[in-house]
Amino acid sequence: MTERLYYDDPYLLEFDAVVTRVDAQDGQTRIWLDRSAFYPTSGGQPYDFGSIAGHEILDVSVEDGDVVHTIRGELAEGERVHCSIDAARRRDHMQQHCGEHMLAHTVFARYQGFTHGLHIGEEFSTIDVTLPDGSTHIPEEELVSMEEEINAWIQRDEPVRCWFPDADELPSVPLRKASSVTEHVRIVHIFPDEYCACGGTHPRRTGEVGCIRILEARPSRGKVRISFVCGMRAVRDNRRKTDACLRAAELLSSSWEELPEAVRRLMDKAGALSAQLRSCKREAALARTAELLQEAVPTADGRKAVAVRLDGLDMETLREAASAIAAQGPVYALLASCPEPGTPALAAFVRGEGCERPMGALLTETTRACGGKGGGRPDFAQGSFTDPDAALRCALSRLTGAE
């Protein structure tokens, strides 16, 4: 079984070992060592990067208690090799993992929230929490308060202890949650009262975490998913958001402090212009009613039908225009519109007095033939199409008997 050096010294980045087993296939080689400081993917913490005898590490995993290293290259059984671990990645994972313990502890202390696991991603980390009352929401002010409490804990530079208690000591350890293993249980204690079974890498003191930023807490499958970053990730996150804020303020000729108010004014102006544009489009569409009616074609039931595209209209205006056409007599109005370039086309089918073909059924038949969705009543139906021209031709052919 592999001697796991990271348990005793998570700061160990260079070591020598002996290759005890080799399994080469498909251009990759799986290596077993007698001792290893490479952390294997487990407990939500990804594997370490680095190299073995100059060969790049592609993966590190655990199989039957052994640490298995996948490299790109060839090595021989019995060969003594020098191994090197990516320092920045190891430090980053130590910061995220230790920060997660403090976050999970704080959630538990405040809400008796049970943390189901950690996922350290490339950009940020997450935990999923079940709250006792079944809630899936934590107020923003509570997130801010928790973040400040944890950062104060970090700044106190409290000790972090990792050890394997013996069978007599283990039952007396006040674990935050029960261990998922029963043998070789490793405990991480962050002073004063956070105890948790964990096999991950951690710094010696909380100060090395640097800081924590809670990004958000949102519902996820009946739980609360809390996203966070620690250490340099928190610094980079703050830098990106600050830069974006300053660029936006510059574009709006505002200071960053006044940015929210500047955005509000811009949104109010945009809303007013949008309403004015909708009104102009509505007036233009309704003004074409008589013109469109002259383009009507005879239908199989002795009525008439208008089938046209009027792009740029929303559903409310499209329905109003179709109703205005249908109000002129026994005529079917089949209108379609792409509100914005690249968006699915909206459709409104309306029949006038004296027309008997049900519009809901016609729209359903058209969506089945041409793709889309929608439905409605006999006198009115609405929906959407991916190809509005084909859909209008299809619907019109059904009315004129040309299908």
133-142, 221-230, 278-287, 343-352: segment of lowest average pLDDT: 278-287
Q: What's the full length of the chain, in residues? A: 403
Q: Which domains does the chain have, with CATH numbers?
A: 3-85 (2.40.30.130), 91-239 (3.30.980.10), 288-400 (3.10.310.40)
Sign of CA dihedral 30, 32, 37, 42: positive
Which CA distances in Å does 97 have to 46, 100, 394?
A: 11, 5, 60
Q: Could you say which DSSP state residue 208 is in?
A: G
Cα–Cα nearest to 65, from 195, 199, 162: 199
Tell me which residue has tokens 């041409």.
370
Q: How many CB atoms lie within 10 A of CB 329?
A: 14
pLDDT band at 342 (very low <50, low <70, confident <90, very high): confident
Are 99 and 212 in contact by the 8 Å Cβ rule? The answer is: yes
Enter the tokens of residue 30. Answer: 């799986």
Whether 402 shows a pLDDT value over 80: the answer reads: no
pLDDT band at 181 (very low <50, low <70, confident <90, very high): confident
Whether 286 shows a pLDDT value over 90: the answer reads: no
Whole-number Å distance between alpha carbons of 21 and 13: 22
Enter the tokens of residue 177. Answer: 């949650």
Phi, psi of 256 (to 5 degrees): -65, -30
pLDDT digit string, tens, across residues 252-269: 999 999 999 999 999 999
Which residues, listed in sequence order, are joined to residue 331 by a DSSP beta bridge? 304
Whether 288 shows a pLDDT value over 90: the answer reads: no
Q: Comparing 290 with 237, which gets the higher pLDDT?
A: 237
Whole-number Å distance between alpha carbons of 333 and 328: 10
pLDDT digit string, tens, across residues 133-158: 999 999 999 999 999 999 999 999 99
Phi, psi of 216 (to 5 degrees): -170, 165
Contacts 24+ apart (CB under 8 A), 248-251: none
Tell me which residue has tokens 């739980």.
223
pLDDT band at 403 (very low <50, low <70, confident <90, very high): low
Are 71 and 31 in contact by the 8 Å Cβ rule? The answer is: yes
pLDDT band at 281 (very low <50, low <70, confident <90, very high): confident
